[in-house]
């Protein structure tokens, strides 16, 4: 993808945000939902989603494997959760967010 371009994908879930918040914000379960992420764990002594918390994400697509250290940028319990992933140099590249629209 060329620098400065964006892509967006939306998935509507027919359930209240407070019901789906817990499983989505638990990044250690991300491997259950993602076709690419095979696992994740909280870093730096964090045990759950708080703004600024980082987690290690481990990904696989065909033969390619890579890790990432995204950071939580929005955490409104029961309402919205968002994190940014980064490139190998640590630059923010992708915003993942969930919440009611």
Q: What is the pLDDT of residues 17-41, one digit of tens each?
A: 888 888 889 999 988 888 888 999 9
- For the chain, domain boundaries: 17-99
More confident residue, 92 or 101: 92
17-99: CATH topology: Alpha-D-Glucose-1,6-Bisphosphate; Chain A, domain 4 (3.30.530)
Looking at residue 94, its pLDDT comes to: 83
Q: How confident is the model at residue 69 (pLDDT cuts 50, 70, 90)?
A: very high
Q: List the one residue out of 57, 47, 66 whose CA is nearest residue 84.
A: 57
Position 5 scores a pLDDT of: 66
DSSP string, 8-56: ------SS-HHHHHHHHH-GGGHHHH-SSEEEEEE-TT--S--TT-BEE
Cβ atoms of 56 and 68 within 8 Å: the answer is: yes
Quick one: average pLDDT of 54-70?
A: 92
The reported pLDDT for the residue numbered 2 is 56
Q: Which pTM was predicted?
A: 0.82
**CA-to-CA distance for 83 and 52, rounded, in angstroms?**
9
């Amino acid at each position: 993808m060329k620098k400065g371009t964006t892509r967006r994908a939306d998935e509507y879930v027919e359930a209240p945000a407070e019901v789906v918040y817990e499983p989505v914000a638990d990044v250690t379960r991300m491997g259950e939902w993602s076709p690419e992420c095979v696992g994740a764990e909280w870093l730096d002594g964090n045990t759950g989603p708080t703004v600024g918390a980082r987690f290690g994400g481990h990904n696989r697509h065909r033969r390619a494997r890579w890790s990432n250290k995204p950071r939580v940028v929005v955490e409104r319990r029961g309402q919205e959760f968002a994190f940014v992933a980064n490139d190998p140099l640590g630059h923010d590249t992708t915003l993942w967010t969930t919440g009611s629209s």
